[in-house]
């Protein structure tokens, strides 16, 4: 069955339609939280939309993406961007970076979020930025829309993810994991929450 992860152009189109005006706003919020050029690690980097946004704003000093979808990996190779085929589920340390980012993907790992979130934080030398959808088409009141959204976003491992965070359940995950919450931002339309965690500066 076709999924959006098999066709990067389809992924980009459906994300634009699903987020509406919040599509650009969600990238802008992440960029604002980074603020200056840094070494970036993006987990589940997808079609590289966030990378392109950050690069245009001069915020990318170095970049490593982690991804599983073969089509997204081929896209990165064509563009000469360092994206590695890594499954974060098995555990272990992640590549360290000044800023670690995960956008619109933590819900896919909600069953291991209590171990994954601390690993993301451990990899971040300065800041961790998690942007997570809290309102989208998979939660539509129309059953056919819910079904289509969930089926099209089936991940490469064959999973259909019906779980979605709310802002409250996402913040509760941070509390359980002991990861600090330095700032919470929301896109204007309320589709996505951006949580920033900052390390205290060295004395």
Instruction: Give the pTM.
Output: 0.84
Going by their DSSP bridges, the two strands 124-133 and 183-186 should be labelled as unpaired
User: Which residues have a Cβ under 8 Å from the Cβ of 39 and sit 6 or more positions away?
Assistant: 61, 62, 63, 97, 98, 99, 125
Question: With a cut of 50, which residues of the chain have pLDDT below it?
Answer: 137, 140, 142, 144-148, 151-152
In the sheet that holds 60-67, the strands lie side by side as: 83-85, 60-67, 38-43, 97-103, 124-133, 192-198, 183-186
- Which tokens is 133 given? 């959808």
In the prediction, which pLDDT does 147 show? 44
**Structural domains in the chain, sorted by start:** 4-198 (3.40.50.150)
- Triad 30, 41, 110: Cα angle to 5°: 75
């Amino acid at each position: 069955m076709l999924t959006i992860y098999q066709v990067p152009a389809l992924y980009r189109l459906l994300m634009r339609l699903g987020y509406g005006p919040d599509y650009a706003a969600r990238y802008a919020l992440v960029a604002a939280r980074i603020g200056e050029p840094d070494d970036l690690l993006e987990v589940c980097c997808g079609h590289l939309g966030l990378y392109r946004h950050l690069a245009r704003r001069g915020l990318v000093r170095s970049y490593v993406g982690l991804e599983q979808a073969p089509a997204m990996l081929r896209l990165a190779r064509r563009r000469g961007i360092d994206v590695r085929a890594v499954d974060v589920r098995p555990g272990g340390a992640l590549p360290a970076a000044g800023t670690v980012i995960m956008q619109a993907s933590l819900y896919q790992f909600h069953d291991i979020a209590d171990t994954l979130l601390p690993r993301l934080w451990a990899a971040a030398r300065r800041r961790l930025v998690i942007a997570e959808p809290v309102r989208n088409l998979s939660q539509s009141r129309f059953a056919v829309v819910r079904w289509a959204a969930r089926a099209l976003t089936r991940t490469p491992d064959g999973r259909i993810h019906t779980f979605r965070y709310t802002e409250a359940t996402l913040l509760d995950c941070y509390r359980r994991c002991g990861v600090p919450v330095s700032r919470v931002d929301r896109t204007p339309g309320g589709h996505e929450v951006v949580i920033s965690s900052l390390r205290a500066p060295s004395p």
